[in-house]
Amino acid sequence: MAQHKYPSPLVVGLALFSMFFGSGNLIFPLMLGAKYEGYFYICALGFTITAVLLPTLGIMAMLPAQGHYEKLFEQLLPKRISRWFFFIALVAWIPLGSGPRCVLLAYASIKTYIPTLPHIWIFSLFFLAIVYFSLINRHRVIDFLGKILTPILLITIFAMIISSLITGGSLEIPEESPGKIFLNSLVDGYYTQDLIAAIFFSSALVTMIYKNTGSMRTALQKTWQGGLIAVALLALLYGALMASSAIHGEELAGLSGEQLVSKLAHITLGSTFGGISSVAVSLACLTTEIALVLVFADFLTEHLPHKHSRQACLLITLALIFLMSLLPFEGIMAVVAPAMQAIYPILFLLVLRTLWRARKSLAH
């Protein structure tokens, strides 16, 4: 009898973290820190509620559903309405939002150090081709993300943060009231889209671990333990990123979101080692893109009216992301912002109701 390989909670946690930590998770903390400087800790508190606490609840809600997001709300919404809600949320999250945003951020970061980089459409084709070939062997995705890409990503980001804190200056107190800053940071936490991510990424992890181990109990346990590691890392990095950009707020003023990471690295690490930021951002965007495409392609494979192969759905997903990546960052956010403000409150209430109904089973 063949022995099943059980991934460690740390590997699962790093894999889940790499799925979460993409473009928005870098951009929005840096934007908040640079904008509000002396009140960055207030930003960190508000941002953590919507960008860390809510995803934690989303992971918890997947436990009674045994990793099946279709079952998550089956007792709360009619099946047809539930499916349409999930579809709208996924479209707003992946091909219209986070998917193209990852491409744009990776492009902007690399272009800072390689001015001769080809046009965005050429870069986007190359970037998405890497994603495609990474997903051909999907059974190796967890190990690839958890053991290789994520440690490199964390090392490069922490190098930038430490250098930033060492070389930083004074903090200015903004004119806005702490209450208004707190509310603004709450809303910006929506734009990471990580409550939706928590549900679908957890579902994907449970499925992959279950197929590798043959034990649903193990799959759920490893996903929950790994989820706690992932959200703890998120909270730590959000605070550190906000502090780093707050210290250099004056030098970062007026920059667009996708330019902040490369500029901060250039300020703190210099032109030679500033290229580290390009590696960090590109890895963050690549790891998240792999997970995003995996989730959306699987959804299309299961729910399109006419049966399509998984490879066809994968190509459809990549094509949609490619088209949206040709828009500027502000254009993408003009679509994502109103969608998230409508979807998030509904999803949050449904998650809370699911957890309330399952409170006895979760207690055991």
Positive or negative: CA dihedral 307, 313, 315, 321: positive
Q: What is the pLDDT of residue 364?
A: 56
pLDDT value at position 318? 95
Nearest to 91 by CA among 309, 333, 339, 329: 339
User: How many CA within 13 A on the CB side of residue 135?
Assistant: 27
Those residues whose C-beta lies under 8 Å from the C-beta of residue 356, and which sit 6 or more positions away, are none
Tokens 């780093």 locate to: 244
**Confidence (pTM):** 0.80
Read off the pLDDT of residues 60-114 as tens digits, 9 standing for 90 and up: 888 777 777 777 766 667 777 888 888 888 898 899 988 998 898 888 888 877 7
Q: Which residues contact 242 (CB under 8 A, 6 or more apart)?
A: 29, 30, 32, 33, 40, 41, 43, 44, 47
User: Quick one: how far is CA 48 from the chain centroid?
Assistant: 14
Task: State pLDDT tens for residues 343-361.
Answer: 888 888 888 887 887 766 5
- Pick the most confident of 44-58, 133-147, 345-359: 44-58
Per CATH, the homologous superfamily of domain 9-357 is: Amino acid/polyamine transporter I (1.20.1740.10)
pLDDT of residue 2: 45
Residue 31's alpha-carbon distances to 37, 77, 121, 241, in angstroms, are 10, 37, 26, 9
Which bin fits 37, alpha (ψ -120 to 50), beta or left (φ > 0)? left
pLDDT digits (tens, 9 = 90+) for 203-219: 878 877 887 777 788 88
Give residue 1's pLDDT band: very low, low, confident or very high (50, 70, 90): very low
Q: Please report, rounded to a whole number, the percentage of residues in the chain having pLDDT higher than 70.
A: 87
Mean pLDDT of 34-54: 91
Give the relative orientation of helices 150-167 and 216-247 as an angle to the nearest 10 degrees.
20
The predicted pLDDT at position 274 comes to 63
Report whether 161 contacts 247 (CB < 8 A). no
**From the CB of residue 45, how many other CB atoms can be counted at a distance below 10 Å?**
16
Stronger pLDDT, 260 or 44, i.e. the higher one: 44
Using the Cα atoms of residue 51, residue 10, residue 217 and residue 295 in order, give the sign of their dihedral. positive
**Predicted pLDDT of residue 363:** 57
Tokens of 182: 């707190």
The residue type of 337 is: A
> Each residue of 240-294: pLDDT tens digit?
999 988 988 888 887 777 778 778 877 776 765 666 667 767 777 887 788 789 8
Inter-residue contact 24 to 197 (CB < 8 Å): no
